Amino acid sequence: MMNHFPAWKNVALAVSLMLALVYALPNIYGEDPSVQVSPLRGAVVNTLLLTDIKETLKNADIPLKASEQTEHLLLRFSNTEQQLKAADILRAKLAKNFVVALNLAPATPEWLRSFNASPMYLGLDLRGGVHFLLEVDMQAAEKQAIDRYATDIRQYLREEKLRYLGVVAEEGKVLIKFRKQVIHDAALEQLSRQFRSWEFKTDPSTPTKPTIIAAMSADERKDVRKYALQQNIITLKNRVNELGVAEPVIQQQGDNRIVVELPGVQDTARAKEILGATATLEYHMVDVEHSVSDAIAGRVPLGSKLYNNREGGQILLKKQVIVTGSEIVDASSGIESDSGSAMVSVSLDGPGGKKMSKTTRENIGQPMAVVFIENRTDTNLVDGKPVRVKTIVEEVINVATIRGHFSNRFQTTGLDNTAEARDLALLLRAGALAAPIDIVEERTVGPSLGQDNIDKGFNSVMIGFVLVLIFMAVYYKTFGLFADIALATNLIFIVAILSLLQATLTLPGIAGIVLTVGMAVDANVLIFERIKEELKNGNSPQASIHAGYEKAFSTIADANVTTLIAAIILFGFGTGPIKGFAITLSIGILTSMFTAIVGTRALVNASYGNRQLTTLKI
């Protein structure tokens, strides 16, 4: 039998088309303006909160369209006005423990969601938002580390009574000068044992003044860089929470860069200010003589101040600062060897150590608190004029009891788990010695442009599509219609796969789809031209169809593979939007091969297969 598909092939085609339809379908439902409530540390989202919110919204006369509860709460509204009003009310009510963010939630119906189907993920150029590329100043991070070690070495030598002439931090190394060779030898041996992550060796160029050169080992340098990056990511995460962004992306890129993507953020000036804030921290004694409830009621004792803690409560601290972040030289998390519980070890510089020593001697058994402080400059519009306001956000991140007298090295123990210890250490370091970061790339798309881009992209896909449909139908008649059906199916497949992969659709991505629409018919053109040729050579219609598909196949494969090569290289080298183009182009090439070869063949077989033909409309 010529030109006949076995039943299973037709069924498989129909099933794959059905699947594609299901996964492409969510894209036609649009989006609901909604408010997303996500818990900050400690807080939880539960039915109680939902009932409470529902009550509040009811009192404010804002109708809630629907709500969903997952790890965060999603409240859907019928229009943007209600959404904005609700967000304002909820922000005032919940700001302390929750992030209240505006969001556009896909209005995918329940039955589709049960298939895990969701619409395509739109890139920032389509939905509006900010993309930042931040670079951590690694030289500064290394310099900080070297300074820190210079302080430590000085301290150690003093403690061990090894008299030195000078300890100088220089470009990438620390020089330790001695008067006597004997001390030099002893110091070299002891330092190597004490500071294992460093490499110590004698400077051969100064035989009269015995000198040790200390340098970071390669591993240590890697660690310093890794820490600087992680620490910045943690602080950025904390700050982005304040911005109230529904789906922020904070990601490491390469070994010294961080990508921050904030969809839907309109006030980019504020975003930049918050991201660029500087942080510090302070150690305070807890005021245990006075009651917190009295202070909350307004009777704050002289010399004390109320602070918020991370759990949402308040705590009364003495105003006097014991040490500040600038006196912290290092903080790292670890496991306590005796109890096996998580801990953070902190080291202070000389002056800080002295102050800490004095305080702890007098206050054994008393609780001490760490306050994290973020300084930032906001620009607010007052009467239409920008006014710069300095904002300070203070928060108690840890309270611990002083168990004994200590000076510049101590441990905070009794932390719940290692994750908490790691976070505390990172925050301590962030408040102490955050390596500076710079914005090296910014791409902001305003919301109006985003919508414009979607409209224009959609229009050009549709117009291009219709033009090609007409062209093919006119030129190839019945076979042209087959190609048109294949092309429409191809579009559905592309949308379905993009939705399924949740790949980011960008404006260049749409351009990629448009281009695929133009190029997808190429396979059909190749096949149809081949069929025409076979007919011209005097072959029967059935044989011509068969030969046309057969002979065109390897040409189509070769031609598409080479285009795929270009698309893959584009993906490998491209950034952001360009990647989007490469993705849609690649998907389009693959799906077009399927629809143009297998899809049209099924249609041709169904129409012409197993029949006596004298002519073909092609």
Partner 1 sequence: MTDQTTIKIDFLSKRKIATIFSFILILVSLASLATQGLKKGIDFTGGTLVEMSFSAPADLSELRQVLTTAGFHGAVVQHFGSSQEVLIRLLPDGALNTAALSNKMQAAINAEYSQPGVLRRAEFVGPQVGEELTEDGGLALLYAMICILIYVTVRFEYRFALGSVAALAHDVIITLGFFSIFQFEFDLTVLAALLAVIGYSLNDTIVVFDRVRENFRKLRKGSPSEVVNISLNQTLSRTIMTSLTTLLVLFALFVFGGEIIHDFALALIVGVLIGTYSSIYVASPITLALGISKADLMVVTVDQEELDKIP
Which residue from 226, 441, 610, 617 is in contact with partner 1, where contact means CB under 8 A? 441
Q: What gap in Å lies between CA 381 and CA 388, rounded to an integer?
A: 9
If the CB atoms of residues 296 and 467 are measured against partner 1, the closer one turns out to be 467
Residue 442: CB minimum distance to partner 1, A = 4
Distances (CA, A) of 269 to 111, 236, 444: 41, 16, 11
Q: Dihedral sign for Cα 178, 180, 185, 191, please.
A: negative
Residue 498: CB minimum distance to partner 1, A = 18
Q: Does 204 bind partner 1 (CB under 8 A)?
A: no
Which residue from 311, 446, 607, 613 is in contact with partner 1, where contact means CB under 8 A? 446
Looking at residues 448 to 477 of the shown chain, list those that interact with partner 1 (rule: CB under 8 A).
Answer: 448-449, 452-453, 456-457, 459-460, 463-465, 467-468, 471-472, 475
Residue 124: CB minimum distance to partner 1, A = 11
DSSP annotation of 25 reads G
Which residue from 15, 419, 565, 613 is in contact with partner 1, where contact means CB under 8 A? 565
Q: Count Cβ atoms within 10 A of the Cβ of residue 498 and give its class: 0-12 exposed, 13-18 middle, 19 or more buried.
A: buried
* Angle between helices 447-501 and 507-536 in degrees, nearest 10: 50
46-54, 127-135, 318-326, 358-366 -> range binding partner 1 (CB under 8 A): 127-135
If the CB atoms of residues 329 and 437 are measured against partner 1, the closer one turns out to be 437
Residue 238: CB minimum distance to partner 1, A = 20
Q: What gap in Å lies between CA 466 and CA 517, rounded to an integer?
A: 10
Which residue from 169, 279, 521, 596 is in contact with partner 1, where contact means CB under 8 A? 521
Residue 473: CB minimum distance to partner 1, A = 12
Q: Does 443 bind partner 1 (CB under 8 A)?
A: yes
Which residue from 162, 481, 570, 606 is in contact with partner 1, where contact means CB under 8 A? 570
Q: What gap in Å lies between CA 609 and CA 617, rounded to an integer?
A: 14
Q: What gap in Å lies between CA 106 and CA 129, rounded to an integer?
A: 18
In the shown chain, the binding pattern of residues 575 to 614 toward partner 1, with x for contact by CB under 8 A and - for none, equals x-xx--xx--x-----------------------------
If the CB atoms of residues 140 and 519 are measured against partner 1, the closer one turns out to be 519
Order of strands, sheet of 278-286, starting from the edge strand that comes earlier in the sequence = 304-308, 314-324, 278-286, 367-382, 385-401
Looking at residues 314 to 373 of the shown chain, list those that interact with partner 1 (rule: CB under 8 A).
Answer: none
Q: Does 121 bind partner 1 (CB under 8 A)?
A: no
Which residue from 2, 14, 561, 613 is in contact with partner 1, where contact means CB under 8 A? 561
Size of the site for partner 1 (CB under 8 A): 80
If the CB atoms of residues 167 and 228 are measured against partner 1, the closer one turns out to be 228
Looking at residues 474 to 513 of the shown chain, list those that interact with partner 1 (rule: CB under 8 A).
Answer: 475, 507-508, 511
If the CB atoms of residues 428 and 487 are measured against partner 1, the closer one turns out to be 487
3-state secondary structure at position 437: strand
Q: Tell me which long-range contacts 228-232 makes (C-beta under 8 A, separation of at least 24).
A: 228/136, 228/138, 228/141, 228/434, 228/435, 229/136, 229/255, 229/256, 229/258, 230/426, 231/426, 231/429, 231/430, 231/434, 231/435, 232/134, 232/136, 232/258, 232/430, 232/434, 232/435, 232/437
Beta bridge partners of 560: none
Q: DSSP letter string over 480-496?
A: HHHHHHHHHHHHHHHHH
Q: What gap in Å lies between CA 280 and CA 325, rounded to an integer?
A: 5
In the shown chain, the binding pattern of residues 255 to 294 toward partner 1, with x for contact by CB under 8 A and - for none, equals -------------xx--x----------------------
Q: Which residue type occupies 566?
A: A
Residue 113: CB minimum distance to partner 1, A = 32
Could you tell me the two tokens for 207?
Answer: 């035989």
Looking at residues 383 to 412 of the shown chain, list those that interact with partner 1 (rule: CB under 8 A).
Answer: 385-386
Q: What gap in Å lies between CA 289 and CA 386, rounded to an integer?
A: 44
Length of the chain: 618
